[in-house]
Chains A and B, each alone.
Chain A
Amino acid sequence: MLTATFEPVLTKTMQYPESHTLEVYRKHGGYEALAMALQKQPDEIIDMVKRSGLRGRGGAGFPTGTKWGFVPKSTDKPKYMCVNADESEPGAFKDRLICQKDPHQLLEGTLIGSYAIGANRAYIYIRGEFAHEARLLERAIEEARTAGFIGRNILGSSWSCEVTMYVGAGAYICGEETGLIESLEGKRGWPRLKPPFPAVVGLFGCPTVVNNVETLACVPHIVKLGWEWFSSIGPERNSGPKLYGLSGHVNRPGVFELPMGISLRELIDEHGGGVPGGRPVKGVIPGGASCPVLRGDEIDLPMDFDSLTRAGSLFGTGTPIVMDDTTCMVRAAWITARFFAHESCGQCTPCREGCGWMQRLLWKIETGEGEERDLDTLLSITDQIEGNTICALGDAAAWPTRGFAKKFREEFLQHITERRCPLGGGSLH
């Protein structure tokens, strides 16, 4: 259906050997978009990106052009572009692929974005565990600098831009944009109070845009193929090509480039090759661990921001985790809660205390020690966290717990009445 006429762009050159090198990237038209962009006024680029309908691929789906437009024009301060390559959400592994197979695509998008917002320096904040990708990126930055795409008077223009890579120390919270900024400044990655937003007061107190890797990788294509092309892909307000990272109980896990709005069931059954052994889908976490689970009977829906919000879940990073009928949903909820409790930065009360409490309650239920009122307590904790914290990690911990407990209430109650895990712990460890 939707996919019939779709031609991948983000992953196109990845099929070639040595796709991460400048040589291969340029052979397939690499850095042409940068040259085209430099012929335009920065505002024209922002306008194109606005019209394309590109929404952030880092999880929140904020319109990218609009975000760029928030950067003040008349300021004496330097401006910064920060690339969020911290990808640490369980289930998400799409940005990693770009860094690995096509780092120049990311660099080109980063440079165009920097030009559009008037930045002369971009930082790529990469997750500490991505050591291999960091080496490849570092090499790509060197290549691009030698070729004149990074540095002074890029491509003969009056615009100069440096790109610096910074390797994180392994904390999910440093992917939250202001936690990232604090970490880049050499401090603890504690998210900041907002407002002010980074576009006004960001890195080193200067206007800053933080964008996801995939978001920026889309930008060269918008410049080259036009915003009309981009916006024609996918449903309205949810346009463009998308990298779906599919994992869990599927025959062919991996990253698939498909249009926004593809059916979740099609993604699993056709592209992911279905569930091993033809077992039924019990639940799907549609967009990374922070997104509320969908039941197997709810997956006939388009994968895009608005559709998933309407369904009571979230599109997140567009990276579904599939669970078959052998999976214990209490244990899945516990594993998710454990992750967020471990990754809470510890700064604000509801998240610091609530996450650990949820984790304990879920373990109690999973191990057959739970009581019915534990389930009520669990749900009330999610209400007590949601919306009351400094950053969205608190919400990201509350939502999936609530999702599991509501969507699979029967299974939770079964754990409580049978005083054991009916699935023997399940297979998702």
Chain B
Amino acid sequence: MASVKIKVDGREIAVEKGTNLIEAAKNAGVAVPHFCYHPGLPVVGVCRICLCELEGRPKLVAGCATQVEEGMHVITRSAKVADARRAVMEFLLIHHPLDCPMCDKGGECTLQDYTMLMGPARSRFKFEKITWPEEDVGGKLVLNKNRCILCMRCVNLCKEVAGLDEIAVLSRGEQTYIGTVDGRKIENELAGNIADICPVGALTSKDFRFRARPWELTNVSSVCPHCSKGCNITVGYHPRRNEILRITARTNMDVNQWWICDRGRGGFHFLHDPKRLLAPARAANGTSRPVPWKQAILDIAQALRDIIVRHGARAVGVVGSGTLTNEECYLTRAVFKDGLGVSNVDFPPRPQPEVAYKKFTIEGDKDPNARGAALCGVAPGASGLGVRDMMRAAAEGTIKALVFLRGGPLDLFGDPAIVERALQKVDLLLVVDFVPSPVSDRAHWVLPGVTFAEKEGTFTNSNGRVQRIRKVLTIRGDTREDWRILQDLGQALGVLPVTDPDPERIFLRLAQAVPAFSGLSYSTVGELGAPIAAATADVAVG
């Protein structure tokens, strides 16, 4: 695209044609305040805080709604601009309750920040303020219209991203307010983004509000584990409580832009599930007893070895998981396929209907790393069986040992009656998981793995983008990262000559072994991910 030369407060820069003054100034290192402008939403130009001066023009212009032109001189530091900004701040606050101490947005509120930066310290407005009752508008949001500055972001998020007119602006003049259409509740699954982009404390998340102040949270970049889209997220956790309190969208223009869906946003409560598996356990005769890790690993390795010695590697079936990381999928293959010669290796897909909004699709494949699992070789080897066939073979008695790297409902793995028979019949049923399931309930051995927020690793999304998840929480109870469990098993089985102390080094090994990942490392993957090698991309889809 063609670029134009402009000046911002005297500093000359070249910017792309079509850029607005806010973005152009940003390029020049100058921050132009803005409430209503959001790069992912249509320009509405209503808040007027972004007013800038253009040399030679008598009237101020809205920075968000004005595009650069060759030779333009944008002035953001004149007295005129400062007056206009102060005026807008004063106006925005006349009916505002100034209840920061009890407002959930406090600490990350644009209105609060700008007031500290440039607002009048006291108000000249001495009249009764207009007030409104608080309202549950659905979408897990609470609306406090007293704090609303009518920036229109919520309206346009629903309209332009979800494609639904579920929230609208009503009435007029100073009585103008945001409301749902005919008082109905917001139902679209993108509504949670509103809490992210509302610049004030008008629309806040029911799930998060009053749980902590934003400055108490430590924010960690990660990737959503709830579908194959691989949305980039920021995990906000409370270090002292060792608890995740919220997940918000993290901008990645190649993946999710500025948004995430409400499943991803709310999908972290399972982490703190009181029923979590917290210690290795051996079940026999209807009772289950904890076993120390070392013992458990040795016993399981021994049992597996015995079966292979007696019946061959064909008597073993390994059910991997598209929810495990690339590193773990690589280890699954290294231990079982390459190490033990097991060819019955596969993982079950977890499809659900895709939900396609106007500008955002929640993908139907519920595994965050199905693509990576397939690329890393969690797939049947020569004449190996797929998941359903493994269940059949186990039910018939030809498979004697089943290893599930994640459990689940019986029907995830085949006809439930057959799966039931398979699980009852095998001599060894090992399940690695972090919550109990019908499969782990029937297991001889249960090893407690961890969730996406308790380990490092990478996922490969449906588009072939490799992205990092990060360890946010400290490990609970006697659980162990899945990559560690797989390495421990590999060692005990004598099939992994070397182990690595962290996933970063496992990844390097993986990048050497799997062509799709060739040349990648944690540093090249970085904060925003990197695509797998193009030449292998097509192969991998099939």
Contact = CB atoms under 8 A, between A and B. Distances in A.
A377 B124 contact: yes
B525 interface: no
A314 interface: no
Contacts of B127: 357, 360, 364
Interface stretch (B90-98, B388-396, B445-453, B455-463): B90-98
B176 interface: yes
Contacts, number: 87
A67 interface: no
Given A349-B91, A353-B91, A344 B174 contact: yes
B94 A188 contact: no
A355 interface: yes
B291 interface: no
B91 A347 contact: no
B125 interface: yes
B43 A353 contact: no
Interface string A376-396: 010000011001111000000
B118 interface: no
Nearest to A344: B173
Nearest to B151: A349
A345 B88 contact: no
Interface in B62-121: 62, 65, 83-84, 87-88, 90-92, 94-95
Interface stretch (B46-54, B218-226, B495-503): B46-54
B174 A350 contact: no
Contacts of A343: 172-173
B18 to A, nearest CB: 14
B38 to A, nearest CB: 15
Interface residues of A, number: 29
A169 to B, nearest CB: 11
Interface string B146-177: 00011000000000000000000101111110
A355 B175 CA distance: 12
Interface in A337-380: 341-350, 352-357, 360, 364, 377
A352 B176 contact: yes
B150 A346 contact: yes
Nearest to B84: A388
B45 interface: yes
Chain A CB count within 10 A is highest, among B48, B51, B150, for B48
Nearest to B58: A387
Contacts of A388: 48, 51, 60, 84, 87-88
Contact of A352 (B59, B65, B150): B150
Nearest to B92: A349
25 contacts: A171-B172, A193-B43, A193-B45, A343-B172, A343-B173, A346-B150, A346-B171, A347-B176, A348-B45, A348-B46, A349-B49, A349-B149, A352-B91, A352-B173, A352-B174, A353-B174, A377-B124, A383-B87, A384-B83, A384-B91, A387-B58, A388-B48, A388-B60, A388-B88, A390-B45
Given A357-B91, A377-B124, 10 more contacts: A171-B172, A343-B172, A345-B173, A346-B150, A346-B175, A355-B173, A355-B174, A357-B94, A384-B91, A390-B45
